[in-house]
Amino acid sequence: MDARTQVTSYPRRLRQYDQEMEAYLRQLSDYSRAIDQNRPRLGLWRRNQRRCCR
């Protein structure tokens, strides 16, 4: 592969990385939303665990 094909394939690779990052960030936001929804339940569970384990 000579330099010219490397240079022309570079933006395509960058675009692919960009799409992967977009998907990753979307997944992260989904995870954080699920964690936000379950946070009160987690707090209750932690409180109950603290009460039980003492």
49 lies in which domain range?
26-54
Tens of pLDDT, residues 22-54: 999 999 999 888 888 877 776 776 666 666 655
Give residue 48's pLDDT.
66
Number of domains in the chain: 1
Question: Within a domain: residue 9?
Answer: no
Question: Within a domain: residue 41?
Answer: yes
CA 3 to chain centre: 35
Q: Which residue has the higher pLDDT, 16 or 52?
A: 16
Question: Within a domain: residue 6?
Answer: no
Question: Within a domain: residue 38?
Answer: yes
Residue 15 has pLDDT above 70, yes or no: yes
| pTM check: above 0.75 | no
Question: Within a domain: residue 43?
Answer: yes
Kindly state the DSSP code that residue 2 receives in the 8-state scheme: -
Question: Within a domain: residue 2?
Answer: no
Question: Within a domain: residue 15?
Answer: no
Question: Within a domain: residue 17?
Answer: no
